[in-house]
Amino acid sequence: MLHEFLTSNRDEILRRTRAMVAARMAPRPTHEELSPGIPRFLDELIATLGGWQDRAAVMKRDATHHGERRQQTGFTVAHVVQDYGDLCQVVTHLAMERPAPVSTEEFCTLNRCMDDAIAHAVTEHVRLCEWAASNEESKRLGFLAHELRNSLHTAILCYEVLKTGTVGMSGTTGTVLGRSLAGLRVLVDRTLSQVRLHTDVEHRERVEISPFLEEVEATGVIASKEHDVSLSVERGDAGVAVSADRHLLGSAVSNLLQNAFKFTRQKGHVSLRTSTTPASVVIEIEDQCGGLRPGEIDDLLARIQRSGREKSGLGLGLAISKRAIETLGGTLRVRNRPDVGCVFTIDLPRLRETVPS
């Protein structure tokens, strides 16, 4: 009988199942992650086959918990299904190795329990994934609304003061108004970039680097003055171009410049320079933040790898820039200059000019 077979071979079944699960591709499960779900299911299956009582409610609870653990540790729905499939495969193979009289009714019970467990585990996994996505979107929208409200409120207050005519646009109030409007522009630009990246919306065109950087310089000079730093731009040779989404490329360069202005000491200098090879276009943005201490460069790279989970500060701008550049087929690197600053390097494929025949 299948009940006696599973009982006497329980440890061997679990050992083989764990070996199959552990042999899969990443994410690699730990021993603790392998322990709860499948053994509990096997024990409940043995109890059901033994006719002790209806274990449906308990099996549903354990399978739901298994789906929850898998979602929390980064496993996909496919992994959840494979967990139970591996167990079924091990039981079948072991029954063939050690011939055991198994009735058709028992195999039907095994399959029914397996189907129910998979359904409950997958349902919970999908529910948690949908909840996490919804929760993340709510947080993102909440952050955006909060920042927009603050900048807009400041701009309105400045406008009301300027409207009275008691102060001029060239004074402190006008400066605050300009800073608020610039902040609104950055927020809207970042949000549009995130939407385009998330939805894989691209509009590729020929972007000539020199006039493109001239536009970047025009707005960059204003932003640099707000932070009391200077900016120099080397736009490179005329005619050099890349194939890119102009908005995404502009967002990436602007985010890097904003970070450079933010972290460069007052009266410091930020440089944006361009160089080319027959195959690539390199844009470098160098700041004077004072450099990073040992180990901080790794932390900075880790922030970029988190791909935007930070909602403010350095991590978000870098994450957007990195993803935008990679979407355009390029790379983003960072180099530390101790006691001086950081150099962020954008490397993009150069667009080959077609020669008329």
Residues 216 and 333 in one domain: yes
Residues 63 and 156 in one domain: no
Q: What is the pLDDT of residues 90-149, one digit of tens each?
A: 877 787 777 766 667 776 777 777 777 677 767 776 777 667 666 666 666 666 676 677
* Within-domain flag for 59: yes
Domain that holds residue 256: 204-349
Residues 216 and 302 in one domain: yes
Residues 148 and 129 in one domain: no
More confident residue, 354 or 345: 345
Residues 168 and 118 in one domain: no
* Within-domain flag for 356: no
* Within-domain flag for 357: no
Q: Are 287 and 263 spatial neighbours (Cβ–Cβ below 8 Å)?
A: yes
Instruction: Using a pLDDT cut of 70, give the percent of the chain over it.
Output: 62
Question: Which of 198, 224, 244 is where one domain is finished?
Answer: 198
What is the C-alpha to C-alpha distance for residues 47 and 308, in angstroms, rounded to an integer? 48
Give the model's pLDDT for residue 308: 42
Q: What is the pLDDT of residues 261-278, one digit of tens each?
A: 989 999 999 999 999 999
Q: Which CATH number characterizes residue 221's domain?
A: 3.30.565.10
More confident residue, 239 or 85: 239
Q: Which CATH number characterizes residue 83's domain?
A: 1.10.490
Residues 208 and 190 in one domain: no
Tokens of 258: 């904003």
pLDDT averaged over the chain?
75
More confident residue, 201 or 203: 203
* Within-domain flag for 9: yes
Residues 90 and 219 in one domain: no
SS (H, E, C) the chain: CHHHHHHHCHHHHHHHHHHHHHCCCCCCCCHHHHCCHHHHHHHHHHHHHCCCCCCHHHHHHHHHHHHHHHHHCCCCHHHHHHHHHHHHHHHHHHHHHCCCCCCHHHHHHHHHHHHHHHHHHHHHHHHHHHHHHHHHHHHHHHHHHHHHHHHHHHHHHHHHHHHCCCCCCCCHHHHHHHHHHHHHHHHHHHHHHHHHHHCCCCCEEEEEHHHHHHHHHHHHHHHHHHCCCEEEEECCCCCCEEEEEHHHHHHHHHHHHHHHHHHCCCCCEEEEEEEECCCEEEEEEECCCCCCCCCHHHHHHHHHHCCCCCCCHHHHHHHHHHHHHHHCCCEEEEEEECCCEEEEEEEEECCCCCCCC
Q: Does the structure show a pLDDT above 80 at 340?
A: yes
Tokens of 174: 């006008």
Q: Does the structure show a pLDDT above 70 at 87?
A: yes
Question: Which of 198, 219, 234 is where one domain is finished?
Answer: 198
Residues 126 and 177 in one domain: no
Please tell me whether the overall predicted TM-score, pTM, comes out greater than 0.95 for this model. no
Question: Which of 175, 198, 221 is where one domain is finished?
Answer: 198
Residues 109 and 81 in one domain: yes
Residues 215 and 314 in one domain: yes
* Within-domain flag for 168: yes
Give the model's pLDDT for residue 314: 44
Instruction: Using a pLDDT cut of 90, give the percent of the chain over it.
Output: 18
Q: What is the pLDDT of residues 20-32, one digit of tens each?
A: 777 765 555 555 4
Q: How many domains does the chain have?
A: 3
* Within-domain flag for 220: yes
* Within-domain flag for 355: no
Residues 87 and 212 in one domain: no
How far does CA 308 lie from the centroid of its chain?
6
Residues 106 and 169 in one domain: no
Which residue, among 132, 184, 139, has the nearest Cα to 158 in the 3D structure?
A: 184
* Within-domain flag for 45: yes
Mean pLDDT throughout 334-354?
89
